[in-house]
Chains A and B, each alone.
Chain A
């Protein structure tokens, strides 16, 4: 049992298309790291309580909370990250309150595209590179990142912000974040996918977008792998014929097995395509399908991560 190389980094960004299980994977990776003696922090950007609920935390907050031995959880809302950034740049006090409570400046800040994500990343960078006296030390910070749907990587968002602003503290922040995300000694990007055609297509598009941005893929997590549904030999078609010709209670199984066999064939084809397209030596974690949601799925990710090839 050992950790894949990407979990030896300080910052792991877990991405993937909506619905592939990014949140479950983030929690599972943290659990794996903790089982190898590390202290891991999972960061939620969205404020949905899914991961917290699975880890038994009822009120996730900006203050890190311990979910399991070695596993901590923190939720970064844009508003709290903005106050935090303001505090670091302006010091606590009236000035900050004035900025945050003022309608004009609020409308302004809400409208700046990408600023929210940038402030959230700024908080993470700060936590890793310049933790305050009251901040805990984490060996690895795992970010449950937004869906890859819009084709924009976080890295590209930071770059766009830097180009758009040209000077000022937001510009400086964007530059810091860009370097932070592109530094292979600190950050690794991990892609979560399902063994199905659409998610894998989008994953491969994302992997090449990432490469074009000058970053490398730290690893791929293939989630919810189906087990082989029927024996390898003889072929299903042969057995099917026998069942179809007999009138027996088995006829119910025909459409179910047809679909299971087709899905498994698609899965195998998709996995082959994925392996061919990924760079040599890119770590792969294959997580078996677990019917029951929540903790059992998180455990499955942790186990698969520790047993990865």
Chain B
């Protein structure tokens, strides 16, 4: 069975880097792993030190790894088009839809389509049975739960009963309630727009069966016991509000929460005391004073930050029923290809045990 690891989190928490490090960790642990990113900003390619990533997996060279690391970047249009071809009842209809002006404008921009495409691609990777592990870097959203809701949202658009109602509306047959609601919608949206959308829905109506059966497979995959959700957070801004919503969404859907991956944690240099003047022969006595002061300030600040990050980690763990927290160090300077990622990977599952033990009350 392919193991699936899904990295969730709001934008700016270092999801892409963490997903890449998780991939490196699995390769170092001897697994054949593929990392899927949705990020159009090429951050995964940059982090892995490769030039380009396409819509199919490409191998990332990794020295001294007993396993294999592969990566790919989602091409939304390509993935959508594939779905249309697969779910259409005949090739002509598929091509007609792909050429439809409105389809072109709408397909990749439907609300939730980023997330849906990612899940679709994940399904494809798992079905291929070629991988020990698939790591998913989820699209940046403000609400981490958006990811799970995407299949449902997209399914609703393609829901057979909704579509057939719409088609029947345009043919003048259908229940009073919807008819009058659509009448109101006509007034809001304008007649021409409605006609355009009818045409589109008419064309895609024969995709709905495919979407529906795929939807249940995808739903099963997302809540399979081989699928683990990680929440990536920033040590300086753990954002409690989001986390509680995320966890209850997981619980409602019976999904497995692996733990927190807390980014940019400081290592603790210990309490600063009795350092004396800094031992640098090049400095005169006045310079020695200012340098001693500046360096001591750096040590003190780091100590304070490290304590705060520890507390943040414990707070997260406590807020999630003693869930494990992996503390990841801040990488120095620019991320340098896979060397920095290997260092990060050593702090992550599967290579490290959780760095915070559950807090007991």
Contacts and interface: CB of A to CB of B under 8 A. Distances in A.
A293 interface: yes
A245 B39 CA distance: 46
B184 A96 contact: yes
A198 B10 contact: no
A169 B190 CA distance: 6
Contacts of A84: none
Contacts of B106: 113, 164
B305 interface: yes
A53 B110 CA distance: 31
A166 B192 contact: yes
B93 interface: no
Interface string A128-170: 0000000000000000001101110000000010011111111
A291 B307 CA distance: 12
Given A150-B40, A160-B105, A168 B192 contact: yes
A179 interface: no
A248 interface: yes
A39 B190 CA distance: 38
Query: Which one of B10, B166, B294 has the greatest number of beta carbons of chain A within 10 Å?
Result: B294
B241 A95 contact: no
Interface string B104-122: 0110011100000000000
Contacts of B278: 239, 242-243, 250
A102 B111 contact: no
A104 B162 contact: yes
Contact of B190 (A108, A170, A256, A291): A170
A19 B153 CA distance: 26
A107 B106 CA distance: 15
Contact of A90 (B110, B187, B274): B187
B287 interface: yes
| Interface size of B as a range | 35 or more
Chain B interface, >50% SS class: helix
B182 A104 contact: yes
B63 interface: no
Given A98-B180, A107-B156, A171 B193 contact: yes
B111 A113 contact: yes
A259 B332 contact: yes
A105 B185 contact: yes
Nearest to A172: B190
Interface string B252-284: 000000000000000001100011101111110
B105 A104 contact: no
Given A17-B11, A149-B41, A230-B295, A242 B280 contact: yes
Interface in B276-311: 276, 278-283, 287, 290-291, 294-295, 298-299, 301-302, 304-305, 308
B249 to A, nearest CB: 14
Nearest to A24: B237
Interface in B146-199: 153, 156-157, 159, 162, 165-166, 169, 177-178, 180-182, 184-185, 187-193, 197
Nearest to B11: A18
Nearest to A166: B192
A79 interface: no
Interface string A44-83: 0011111001000000000000000000000000000000
B294 A111 contact: no
Nearest to A109: B185
A184 B138 CA distance: 36
Contacts of B209: none
Contact of B13 (A19, A108, A151, A252): A19
A147 B142 CA distance: 9
A90 B99 CA distance: 36
A73 to B, nearest CB: 15
Contacts of A245: 279
Given A103-B162, A107-B157, A256-B299, A48 B241 contact: yes
A127 interface: no
Nearest to A165: B193
Contacts of A90: 184, 187-188
A110 B182 contact: no
Nearest to B279: A246
B155 to A, nearest CB: 10
B280 A239 contact: yes
Contact of B188 (A47, A101, A170, A293): A170
A37 interface: no
A25 interface: no
Given A104-B181, A105-B181, 8 more contacts: A19-B234, A104-B162, A105-B184, A164-B102, A170-B193, A256-B302, A259-B332, A262-B332
Interface of A: 17-20, 46-50, 53, 85-86, 89-90, 95-96, 98-99, 101-105, 107-111, 113-114, 116, 146-147, 149-151, 160, 163-171, 197-198, 202, 229-231, 234, 238-239, 241-243, 245-246, 248-250, 252-253, 256-260, 262-263, 266, 291, 293
Closest 9 CB pairs of A and B: A19-B12, A168-B190, A18-B11, A242-B280, A102-B181, A18-B12, A113-B109, A246-B279, A99-B184
27 contacts: A50-B241, A90-B187, A98-B177, A98-B181, A98-B184, A105-B185, A111-B111, A113-B106, A147-B12, A149-B11, A149-B41, A164-B106, A165-B190, A167-B192, A168-B193, A169-B188, A197-B334, A231-B287, A243-B278, A246-B279, A248-B279, A250-B278, A250-B279, A252-B270, A257-B295, A259-B333, A262-B333
Interface of B: 10-13, 39-41, 43, 102, 105-106, 109-111, 140, 142-143, 153, 156-157, 159, 162, 165-166, 169, 177-178, 180-182, 184-185, 187-193, 197, 234, 236-237, 239, 241-242, 269-270, 274-276, 278-283, 287, 290-291, 294-295, 298-299, 301-302, 304-305, 308, 330, 332-334
